[in-house]
Copies of this chain bind each other. A is one copy, B any other.
Amino acid sequence: MIDRTYTGDVTPEMDGETVAIAGHVHELRDLGGLVFVIVRDREGLLQAVFKEDREPALFEDAEDLGAEDVVRIEGEVTESGQAPGGVELVPESLELIDEADAPLPLEISKDVEADLSTRLDNRGIDLRQPEVKAIFTLKSVLMDAMEDWFEREGFVDVDTPLISKGGAEGGAELFPVVYYEEEAFLSQSPQLYKQILMASGFDKIYETGTAFRAEDFATSRHVSEIAMFDVELAYIEDHDDVMDVQEESLRYALEQVAEHAEHELDELGVDLTVPDEDFPRITFDEALDILEDEFGHFPDDPTDLDTKGEKLLGEYFEEQGHPAFFVVGYPDEKFYYMQNVEGDDIASRKFDLIYKGQELSSGGQRQHDVDAMREMMQAEGVDESNFEFYLDALSYGTPPHGGYGLGIDRLVQQVCDLDNIKEAILFPRDPNRLAP
């Protein structure tokens, strides 16, 4: 490796030591006889001060630098009250590692706010901004923590296929794939495979995967390619066991973010509240009552919460110290794979998690009685023949089970207070965006 110290590790205590830093030229300030070169690496910024009368040869090289050039600067660490971070380098050598083209398609060091579309068109440049990069460092901390929790709890990390013959929830929102001579589709959800694995005795699993939705949307919370964190567990009593897992894992992941992504939260200006109390679990009817009583709000569709309803409920619970809560039991959502309390006319064991006013995931106890599923499919007009592989696998003894799929990008959007979910994705995909 090229010998260097991260800027974040260069502290005033190192005054007098010689170190090398390497990174992009974030900013150049030429004051005549004096050039400040501010170097950016993944940890932050550090300035090197080139003086014409002190190091004339180096000074000339520094004057020739351009924004975003990749450089390595060796120098003496010097405490400095004026310098950002309280420290700067007195250069001893300067190496130009890679020269950047000019001009940049997007400003990086200036506080010029480009619109999101322009930023995404030039995402490679946009990602160089410390406050943009911070989103993805935080996302990495969050994902690692989430996986650590499930690993520790004995869940098996699995991979289910992304190309299949059909989808869990029908055909309209599926992307078709030309699969050799056959027509196939991209996976919308690993739901059916997760359930087969429960029947196979895998007991507790999680998957970090991708879901594809061919919806034609134009909202700030939808994309076509979604990072999913899927969970399924067997031998549950009911959906409360599933909510327990989601609650504990999310709390742990947020704790880890608060502890290990402090710098990133600062960069993003986010004051993260880790929910230390139990997440409230309210029924759909209770949710409607709160909306009516507290806000006089009635969702247009009385069988589902609308975006505004979720937001208002979010405010209501946030005020009581609960950034996250569950809504349990939705009317008119009787899917064949949902478990319902007998005789109940709602999907009584289905739940949604709402975090900071936005739905992050759906889950519930699944139906494991194949006969009941076949009846439901016939009633719903679902073509059973597309699901034989699934029904068949579940017919040879399946323990009661449930699970959920958590949208990782939406979670990051909410944690980081981002206006648009695309900001939480390195290279997002939507109906109009297939590149970069």
Contact = CB atoms under 8 A, between A and B. Distances in A.
Q: Copies per complex?
A: 2
A272 to B, nearest CB: 19
Nearest to A192: B436
A407 interface: no
A140 B179 CA distance: 28
Nearest to A97: B399
A434 interface: yes
A365 to B, nearest CB: 12
A261 to B, nearest CB: 11
A335 interface: no
Contacts of A202: 42, 127, 133, 136
Contacts of A163: 175, 186, 212, 224-225, 429, 434
A22 B399 contact: yes
A206 to B, nearest CB: 9
A197 B133 CA distance: 10
A33 interface: no
B182 A434 contact: yes
Give the interface residue-count category, chain A.
Answer: 35 or more
A1 interface: yes
B98 A399 contact: yes
A214 B200 CA distance: 29
A317 interface: no
Interface in A188-223: 193, 196-197, 199-203, 208, 210, 212, 214, 216
Interface stretch (A82-90, A306-314, A389-397): A389-397
A156 B180 contact: no
A70 interface: yes
Contacts of A60: none
Nearest to A205: B140
A390 B436 CA distance: 8
Nearest to A101: B395
Contact of A98 (B40, B392, B397): B397
Given A24-B397, A125-B393, 14 more contacts: A23-B201, A24-B201, A25-B397, A70-B397, A70-B399, A97-B399, A98-B368, A100-B396, A124-B392, A124-B396, A125-B396, A127-B197, A128-B200, A148-B148
19 contacts: A98-B397, A98-B399, A98-B400, A101-B396, A124-B389, A124-B394, A125-B200, A127-B200, A127-B201, A136-B158, A139-B157, A143-B157, A161-B225, A163-B175, A163-B212, A163-B434, A177-B177, A177-B178, A180-B431
